[in-house]
Structure 1
Amino acid sequence: MKQGETSNVRVKETMWLGTAALAMVMASEAYAAQAHDAPPVRAAHHDDDDDDDDDGHPVQSGEIVVTARKLDSARASVSASLGASTYALSNDAIEKRPSGEAANLVNVLMQMPGVTQGGDSAIRVRGQNHVQYRINNIILPEGLSDPADTLRARFADRIELVTGALPAQYGLQTGGVVNITTKSGVYEHGGEVELYGGTQGRFEPAFELAGSSGNTNYYLSGSYLHSDAGLPPADRNAIPLHDRTDQGDGLAYVDHIIDSASRVALILGVSGDALQTPHPRGLVASGLTSEAWGGEQRKGSQYGMLSYQRSEDGLTLQVAGFLNHASRRLEPDQAGDLAFNGIARQYQTNGLSSGLQTEAVYALGQQHHLRAGLLATWRQTKTDAVETVLALAPATGTLALAGRFSAQRLETGVYLEDEWKPLDRLTLNYGLRLDRVTGQGGGNAVGPRANLVWEPIQGTTLHAGYARYFVPAPQRDDAIDPSRFSGTSEALPTQSDDPARAEKDDYVDIGISQKLDELTLGVDAYWRRATNLLDEAWTSDGLLARSFNYARGHGRGVEFSATWSEGPISAWGNLSVSWLDGQGIVSGQSPFSASQITWTASHAVAAASDQRLSGSAGLTWHSGPLRLSTDATYGSGLPRSSSNSVLDDGRMPAWVQLNLAAVYRVKGLRHRPLDLRVDVTNALDTPRRVQDGSSLAGGMAQWGGRRGVFVGVEQSF
């Protein structure tokens, strides 16, 4: 057995054991039907296509359901989105679309306005990768990778994206907030098992369980994925070379209703991925072929969030503690990496974060709702690295450079805001946020926020807002000394490398939405001015991102959205036009030549994630047991860079991807719903070149996946 195959097996076993451990915590004897048919952009309601509740499984009492709904509503009121741009999808809407619940959050969010995908597969919102994730309004602790790339949509009852001029509650990011509401045993009793797979060697079994016992409710989900197409492939071939992956994830949610005004909730999650490093075909170096080139990476995360909520007499308080351990390991193919990249990196990074989040809202009469909160987070990362390079002078041969790096950070933030209705159709939300971040790339900041919402006539809503943002630089787990690579195959162009700095932004957002019977139209425009705009450059092998700053940055854009639903047909469409550029590199200079740094001082450079035009559209139709749907995404291409002094040198080709889906529902075991589905991704089989190796956003060539045909069977119990 090859080394890569052995590690993949180890990860498979680890994931199955992790998911089984969660199952043991949450196991129950209750089984019933799973929720399916809810209207879009609302929580899915229970509909098992069987009016005879003859399965003998317990159903939650009406009093508990009423209490839970009241507490859910109160929890939602803590989170403010007034004046910001908000887009949401229910679980039912996700299930109807191509890939259904098997899709990860990247695929779901890509259907929302202003969301694009960078060369590292992570999402960007309005060109920024500074995105905060929340589960049931509790901040998901920061890990070592984008959660949207690993989390499946299966456990989500509702996924909401809040962007624009955010209220004071949201800090330390400019992109937006993804708030996920989990499914719950209060409303769902029973479970599902699903088997999904098809081309590219995809095989994905998954399960869900939900139920209640007295005042305690639980939900549990888990899945395992094997595929021959893990990371973006390195060439346009329909069968990627050296791109296998094994992934597993599990999530458990349990809450206990203490009384009519309070409850305690626990969320546990685990994920782990083994990913081979893809390579292009046909390369030859030092007597080696790229077909024999190996290497892989493994990453994992384990997190827990414990919260207490009390809602009484106009006051809702939620206190939550969270803990997250994340790890990432790079396993090189030393001979292949040295031959083709000139460097072989062996990295083991472990990150630990913990924190306390306290938020409250108080209804001070009919005109004022006061919100306040406190957040404290501690983070630490440790990295052991061995970087093997080729010595070029004064002697030749291989040279192993070992190092151990660590970084710590404490983030604290407080906010206070008031939602005030001076007039019946006019609402003002204003507040102030104070942040302090220790360590390199941190600092102190005061962030005023203000949003105005006006409904001049029925069906018309206008909003305008201003936010002052503060974004600390990402923690660096490797203190780079560019001089240590001097005289080697990894020699960097510049011998200085100032640490990245915190970014500060002035952000303005205005928009209007109009509802015309079943049609809703929206237009949203934004403008931002940044000091020390953060961006990323990737290492020559495309494995590690390095943060750097432009002295100044400017962003602006317009987003158009439309949704329509009537009878069995619903449709949506989004179009975003945006610009994000920076000028004057002032930190992280080592990957850039002196002429490039000089050129940026007087020229605006497109940010690595600056896709000028992006869009998405889709259509769903259902008749009886049959559902048909299609969606499409479009991008005008990411920027590329030249090897000379010019950093902004054209764009990758524009691309479009069309996906199709058909779902047919029949009565399966015990007359419970059995869904049969067929999905076709990239139905036109259009090759999409994400990167060609020249862009700052990726050090190696990357392509989008080719056509995939997948089938799924989902049985409810």
Structure 2
Amino acid sequence: MLAFLLLLPHLAAAQVAEIEDVVVNSTRQTTARESIPASTGASTTTLDRAAIERMPQGSAASLNQILLQAPGVVQEAQGDLHVRGDHRNLQYRINGVTLPEAISGFGQMFDARALRSVSLLTGALPAQFGYRTAGIVDLQLRSGATDPGGSIGIYGGSFGQVQPAAAYGAAIGPFEYFLTGNVLQSQRGFENPTRDRDAINNDTQQIRGLMNLGYQVDDFTRISFIGATNQSRYQVPNVPGQPAQFTAFGQDSFDSAALRARQWQRSSFGVLAVQHSRDTWDLQVAGFARQTSLNYLPDLVGEMVFNGAAAETRKRNLSAGLQADAVWRVAPAHTIRAGLFASRDVTQNISNSTVLPLNGAGVPQDAPFTIQERGRIHGQLYGVYVQDEWRLTERLTANFGARFDAMRQQVDATQLSPRANLVWRVTDSTTFAIGYARYFTPPPSELLTAPALFRYGNTTLAPEVPLASAPRPERTNYFNIGLRQRIGEGLNLGVDGFYRDVKDMQDLGQFGSAYIFSPYNYRVGRVFGMELTASYRQGPWLTYGNLTLSRSEGRGLVSNQYFWSAAELAQVESKFVRTDHDQLITGSAGVSWQGWDGGTLSSTLVYGSGMRRGFANSQSVTPYATINIGVAQEFTLAEGGRWTARLDLLNLTDRSYQLRDGTGIGVGAPQYGLRRGIFAGLSRAL
């Protein structure tokens, strides 16, 4: 692959005369494509390529690490994220096309090498955005026509991390391409379940690749294909010194440090899109497909001795669909947007659960046997929307519309969802926005199961509450109000207030040994909070800071009740409880300085007051703050070639902090954040 990348510049050089026209057309098509989504009224945070490169880790940063610098984003284990009091529920759009989320999440699918910009949209979203609405992660990919060239290099350091990577793009006649690929090996796959610096049995190997291809048919039409894959293998880390709880296979003792469970996570997707832009019209039609899987292989004897059960878990999901979006600038004061979405999912669940039988007194007997389950769940989503961006005056814009959605899943449901936003540019430096959105959020089909609970009766896996009602779609009334103030040339301040009134509030939890989430619904829920933001960009300085206060709580449980204890169900039925991912205070900040020729010094901070723990999520883990610093230097060697060297120090103070302590609703195990690590990288521009 590297040899191929090194040859590509010579192939592209033969087509220099044609590149200028390709760049002009590609830029025009990109501008037209980016005008299709409407963010009017939404709270938007954008990190362009320059801002990403100036962060610690730079191009080696994963997508979830970049998003942690946006307001209201809470870090979770396994690279997951929570935004404004929601659990996951993020919609990922790549060059304007919606992608279904993978079983293992999406935050680690990409690194920054492929990204031109990352935007996070939250609040009362226009009618164009449906289904996953806690936040819209809008990814714009680098293009071979507008961003030719690339790099090849290696990055690594603490915890045995080694990550060679390459990226390259160019244009050849009407054809353009951008390719990235990297291989990661590390001794820190999942979060450490202990406060020690190094975990036992926690190696990972990961392969990621992405291609962005485009062909300019004529001045008005462009065809593109985007494909990506992530193939990951994990060891599952252990907690040493755990006491044995059961006798199985004739063994009543086992060294918990010797457990050797493993997990494989795979995800691939492809998008084929046709874009046509002419006069007052912009249109994009895209077909997409995504396949994702997760396989968990337990340490059979060890898990039986400690847990009384060991479950081999296999889950696979195939999703395919069609999306069409159009913009019609019908008049100077009106821009009409309309579109449709349709997708079909098939989720395959396989589990082989080895359990112990219980005698008449409820005592486990050393006679292990296996319960096998096989099942398929089919799901379909359909949606249409129309909206009008109406410029009432030079300073006042209304964006109103509606979408209609239907789901065919374990539960069938429909909803008409009105949306309305009003944006008032009070002065040239002051903007006020208020909005309302009705949301319809189907359960994540890739995580659904349909367990036969009766088969586990009188075994060590028998649920205390033998009820598994199907997850329901969440229905939300969302209110958002925001104010933006620019001071001088470079300082921008913002404040947002938000409130969600929710029926059948969705949440996710890890309820077994496998690192996989399962959905459930509270009967009602409410989420409210406030967001403060500030940024300054002037000369060599780039600084920003975010502070979010929020509360997320639910009452009553109406689906997948078997995950919970009878005491927890009774508590949640009688009062509102905090959701497991609720964090009262979330903060992030960053500063970078390009104070010398080719050099950048940067630092970022992430603060959390702690997610929930204890019985019915009644307490929180200890607050934490982590600081990262980085320095990067570009230089040119005598024989030619532009190089970049960087040095990053993550968790500067070596703070040992918990994301989870193993208690609370839907919390599978203790999980500690990254201890101090020193990483370095060297790359050469191509």
Report TM bin, short chain. over 0.9
CA contact (8 A) 1:318 1:358 kept: yes
Per the alignment, residue 469 of structure 2 pairs with 498
Q: Any idea what SS the aligned residue of 1:346 has?
A: strand
Give the stretch that moved more between structures: 333-342 or 459-468: 333-342
In structure 2, distance between residues paired with 1:23 and 1:302: 24
Does structure 2 retain, via aligned residues, the 8 Å contact 1:454–1:463?
yes
Matched, 1:671 2:637: no
Match of 2:400 among 411, 416, 430: 430
Q: Does 1:443 align with 2:413?
A: yes
Contact 2:104 2:516 in 1 (8 A): no
Structure 2 CA distance for partners of 1:63 and 1:690, relative to 1, 3 Å = same
| Equivalent of 2:502 in 510, 519, 530 | 530
CA distance in 2, matches of 1:705, 1:678: 17
Q: Which of 414, 423, 430 is matched with 1:453 structurally?
A: 423
Q: Which amino acid aligns with 1:29?
A: L
For the residues of structure 1 that align with 2:398 and 2:579, how far apart are their CA atoms?
34
> Are the equivalent residues in 1 in contact too, given 2:613–2:620 (CA < 8 A)?
yes
SS in 2 for 1:397: coil
User: Equivalents in 2 of 1:60, 1:280: separation in Å?
Assistant: 61
Residue 378 of structure 1: CA displacement?
0.6
Measure, in 1, the Cα distance between the counterparts of 2:323 and 2:444. 21
- 8 Å contact 1:442–1:472 — kept in the other structure? no
Q: Does the residue aligned with 2:217 lie in a helix, a strand or coil?
A: strand
Residue aligning to 2:120 = 161
1:72 aligns with 2:26: no
One-letter amino acid of the counterpart of residue 184, structure 1 = S
Structure 2 match to 1:29:
8
Equivalent residues of 2:617, 2:665 under 8 A apart: no
| 8 Å CA contact 2:448, 2:519 repeated in 1 | no
| Cα separation, partners in 2 of 1:615 and 1:60, compared to 1, 3 Å | farther
**1:652 aligned onto 2:625:** no
Match of 2:369 among 384, 393, 399: 399
Q: Which residue of 1 aligns with 2:585?
A: 613
Instruction: Give the counterpart of 1:83 among 16, 41, 57.
Output: 41
Question: Contact 1:144/1:328 (CA < 8 Å) preserved in 2?
Answer: yes
* Among candidates 70, 73, 92, match of residue 115 of structure 1: 73
Moved more, 569-578 or 687-696: 687-696
Secondary structure of the 2:8 match is coil
Name the SS of the counterpart of 2:47 in structure 1: strand
Structure 2 residue corresponding to 1:509, chosen from 468, 480, 500: 480
Distance 1:523 1:90, change over 3 A: same
- Name the residue aligned to 1:626: 599
1:421 equivalent in alignment to 2:391: yes
8 A Cα contact 1:350 1:381, kept in partner: yes
Alpha-carbon distance in structure 1 between the residues aligned to 2:671 and 2:11: 44
Partner residue of 2:322?
Answer: 356
> Given residue 589 of structure 2, which amino acid in structure 1 is its aligned partner?
A
Distance across 2 between alignment mates of 1:620 and 1:254: 33
CA distance in 1, matches of 2:432, 2:219: 37
User: Residue 254 of structure 1 corresponds to which residue in structure 2?
Assistant: 213
Deviation of 1:32 (Å): 11
Residue aligning to 2:679: 710
Aligned equivalent of 1:230:
189
Contact kept? 1:307, 1:318, Cα under 8 Å: yes
- 2: distance between equivalents of 1:72 and 1:668? 35
CA distance in 2, matches of 1:534, 1:442: 16
Deviations 1:321-374 (A, max 9, x none): 011111111111111221222221212222111111100000011100000001
What residue number does 1:102 align with? 60
Distance 1:31 1:414 in 2: 46
Report the secondary structure of 2:35's partner residue. Answer: helix
User: Is the 8 Å Cα contact of residues 538 and 544 (structure 1) preserved in structure 2?
Assistant: yes
Asked if the contact 2:309/2:355 (under 8 Å) is kept, the reply is: yes
Distance of 1:451 and 1:142 partners within structure 2: 27
What secondary structure is seen at the aligned counterpart in 2 of 1:147? Answer: coil
Cα offsets for 1:398-428 (capped at 9, x unmatched): 1211010110111010000000001011100
Q: AA paired with 2:296?
A: L
Distance of 1:538 and 1:302 partners within structure 2: 23
CA change 1:312–1:670 in 2 (3 A) is farther
Residue of structure 1 equivalent to 2:565: 593
> Contact between 1:532 and 1:549, CA under 8 Å: does it hold in 2?
yes
Letter in 2 for 1:494: V
The equivalent residue for 1:42 is none
Q: CA deviation at 1:141?
A: 3.2
Q: Report the alpha carbon displacement of residue 467 of structure 1 after superposing the two structures with TM.
A: 0.3
Per-residue CA deviations over 1:84-117 (Å, capped at 9, x if unaligned) read: 0000111221111111111111100000001112
CA RMSD of aligned residues (A): 1.9
Q: Which runs of 5+ in 1 are unaligned?
A: 1-19, 34-54
Partner-residue secondary structure (3-state), 1:619: strand
- Is residue 2:146 matched to residue 1:187? yes
* Conserved 8 A contact 2:356-2:368: yes
Match of 1:602 in 2: 574
Tell me if structure 2 keeps the 8 A contact 1:542–1:698: no
Paired residue for 2:248?
none
Work out the CA distance in 1 between the residues paired with 2:238 and 2:547.
Answer: 34
The alpha-carbon deviation at position 60 of structure 1 amounts to 5.7
Q: Residues 118 and 140 of structure 2 are in contact (CA less than 8 Å); yes or no, is this contact kept in structure 1? A: yes
Number of the residue aligned with 1:48: none
* Aligned with residue 51 of structure 2, among 89, 93, 102: 93
Q: Residue type of the partner of 2:290?
A: N
**What letter is aligned with 1:510?**
I
Query: Which residue of 2 is the match for residue 546 of structure 1?
Result: 518
What secondary structure does 1:148 align onto?
Answer: coil
- Distance (whole Å) between structure 2 residues aligned to residue 343 and residue 461 of structure 1: 58
Please give the secondary structure, in 2, of the residue aligned with 1:455.
strand
Write the distance in 2 (CA, Å) between the matches of 1:669 and 1:232.
43
Shift of the alpha carbon at 1:598? 2.0
User: SS of the residue aligned with 2:199?
Assistant: coil
Unaligned stretches of 5+ residues in structure 2:
245-251
1:386 matches 2:374: no
The normalised TM-score by structure 2 is: 0.95
- Matches of 1:59 and 1:328, distance apart in 2: 48
How many residue pairs were aligned? Answer: 671
Displacement, 1:31? 6.0
Q: Aligned residues: percent identity?
A: 33
1:640 — aligned with what? 613
Give the 5 Å matches for 1:313-392: 313-392=279-358
Partner of 2:249: none
